[in-house]
């Protein structure tokens, strides 16, 4: 649909712009014709007609877009189109004056009009080119508005994805069970309740802050993991124990945020929590040169066949996040025997300042 014809407001605005053009045309024609009356009689209808004829410039603009690689082709097309329209316009004027000449008894009007060919033709070409310029402007404005809108939409989408990822990371089970522990502690150990509130607040805040970043040093993630483990220790008491073996060289390696904490959470929820006596979570983090290796190991209930199948989505998430950062240099492997479950992550250690 034509952008000017599609809205009444735009059409009125466009036609108003033609008012001064009509006046100028009248002034020009008055010099060659015999009276003001004749000039008005010819100029007014021709201006109205040409205003509509010039709308066809839109299709010319679409056919030869501004970004056309060949400037020559653009100019030739525009000049041919404007010359043809101008000629057609002049001919329409000729028909008009021939019609009104006998009717209004203005002898010689048609000869006088024909003598005005040159100024009429020049005006026609110029007006058509102006209209083309205006249409190009409209197209550019519409395009920039669409790009702006798309950029905005993309921004909103990215933000939403981030929030959704974060919401998925903070497990509702963990949150509500922790609140329940606090509720119980208020009666039996008010001081403990207070410190658990603080631990939980720290954990949530740190998750939000770290989660908003692209990459974080491994040391930051490990602090978050410790924070998380402190909360879970209050819930599970003696049933949860942790053995850590962390190579200090790992601390500066960059990783996507909230990479390890969800794995630790899974290990507790699907591995240790279903065991009556609980068990020990082992975390091994090693660095050999530029090669990082993280191993998480937890016991599982041997009587349940697919105890940790719920962890599948989480592991897929870890795999794709590592792959996005390190391409095919990263690997996530799972192994399980009768009563242990093991996740192994391997990826290159990149420190801040280097590029991945």
Q: Which residues bind another protein (CB under 8 A)?
A: 172-173, 175-177, 179-185, 187-188, 234-237, 273-276, 301, 303-306
Q: Which is nearer to another protein, 177 or 215 (CB)?
A: 177
Q: Which is nearer to another protein, 124 or 299 (CB)?
A: 299
Least separation, in Å, of the C-beta of 189 and another protein?
9
Least separation, in Å, of the C-beta of 319 and another protein?
23
Cα separation of 235 and 242, whole Å?
14
Least separation, in Å, of the C-beta of 275 and another protein?
6
Q: Which is nearer to another protein, 223 or 235 (CB)?
A: 235
Least separation, in Å, of the C-beta of 159 and another protein?
25
Least separation, in Å, of the C-beta of 144 and another protein?
45
Least separation, in Å, of the C-beta of 177 and another protein?
5
Cα separation of 169 and 265, whole Å?
10
Q: Which is nearer to another protein, 196 or 224 (CB)?
A: 196
Q: Which is nearer to another protein, 338 or 355 (CB)?
A: 338
The count of other CB atoms within 10 Å of the CB of residue 321 is: 18
How many alpha carbons fall within 13 Å on the CB side of residue 168? 14
Q: Which is nearer to another protein, 72 or 188 (CB)?
A: 188
Q: Which is nearer to another protein, 58 or 341 (CB)?
A: 341
Cα separation of 14 and 98, whole Å?
29
Q: Which is nearer to another protein, 177 or 252 (CB)?
A: 177
Q: Which is nearer to another protein, 26 or 181 (CB)?
A: 181
Cα separation of 229 and 316, whole Å?
23
Q: Which is nearer to another protein, 45 or 274 (CB)?
A: 274
Least separation, in Å, of the C-beta of 170 and another protein?
11
Least separation, in Å, of the C-beta of 273 and another protein?
7
Cα separation of 22 and 24, whole Å?
6
Cα separation of 171 and 177, whole Å?
10
Q: Are 22 and 43 in contact (CB under 8 A)?
A: yes
Least separation, in Å, of the C-beta of 147 and another protein?
41
Instruction: Give the 3-state DSSP-derived string for the chain, with helices as H, strands as E and coil as C.
Output: CCCCCCCHHHHHHHHHHHHHHHHHHHHHHHHHCCCHHHHHHHHHHHHHHHHHHHHHHHHHHHHCCCCCCCHHHHHHHHHHHHHHHHHHHHHHHHHHHHHHHHHCCCCCHHHHHHCCHHHHHHHHHHHHHHHHHHHHHHHHHHHHHHHHHHHHHHHHHHHHHHHHHHHHHCCHHHHHHHHHHHHHHHHHCHHHHHHHHHHHHHHHHHHHHHHCCCCEEHHHHHHHHHHHHHHHHHHHHHHEEEEEEECHHHCCEEECCCCCHHHHHHHHHHHHCCCCCCEEEEEEEEEECCEEEEEEEEECCCCCCCCCHHHHHHHHHHHHHHHHHHHHHCEEEEEEECCEEEEEEEEECCEECECC
């Amino acid at each position: 649909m034509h952008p000017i014809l599609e809205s009444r407001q735009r059409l009125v605005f466009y036609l108003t712009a033609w008012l001064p053009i009509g006046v100028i045309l009248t002034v020009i024609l008055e010099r060659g014709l015999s009276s003001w009356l004749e000039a008005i009689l010819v100029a007014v209808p021709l201006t109205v007609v040409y205003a509509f004829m010039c709308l066809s410039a839109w299709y010319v603009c679409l056919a030869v877009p501004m970004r056309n690689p060949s400037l020559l082709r653009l100019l030739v097309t525009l000049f041919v189109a404007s010359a043809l329209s101008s000629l057609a316009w002049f001919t329409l004027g000729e028909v008009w004056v021939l019609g009104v000449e006998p009717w209004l008894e203005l002898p010689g009007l048609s000869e006088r009009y024909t003598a005005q060919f040159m100024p009429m033709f020049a005006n026609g070409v110029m007006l058509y080119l102006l209209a083309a310029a205006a249409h190009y402007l409209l197209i550019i404005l519409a395009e920039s508005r669409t790009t702006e809108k798309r950029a905005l939409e993309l921004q909103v989408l990215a933000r939403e994805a981030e929030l959704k990822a974060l919401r998925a990371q903070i497990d509702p089970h963990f949150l509500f069970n922790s609140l329940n522990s606090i509720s119980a502690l208020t009666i039996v150990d008010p001081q403990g309740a207070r410190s658990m509130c603080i631990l939980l607040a720290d954990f949530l805040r740190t998750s939000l802050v770290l989660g908003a970043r692209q990459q974080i040093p491994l040391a930051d993630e490990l602090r978050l993991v410790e924070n998380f483990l402190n909360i879970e220790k209050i819930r599970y008491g003696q049933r949860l124990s942790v053995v850590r073996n962390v190579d200090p060289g790992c601390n500066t390696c960059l990783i996507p945020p909230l990479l390890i904490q969800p794995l630790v959470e899974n290990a507790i929820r699907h591995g240790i929590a279903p065991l009556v006596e609980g068990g020990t979570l082992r975390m091994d983090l090693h660095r050999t040169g530029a090669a990082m290796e993280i191993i998480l190991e937890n016991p599982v209930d041997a009587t349940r066949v697919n105890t940790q199948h719920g962890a599948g989505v989480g592991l897929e998430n870890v795999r794709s996040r590592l792959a996005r950062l390190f391409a095919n240099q990263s690997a996530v492997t799972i192994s399980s025997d009768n009563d242990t479950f093991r996740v192994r992550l391997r990826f290159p250690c990149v420190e801040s300042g280097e590029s991945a």
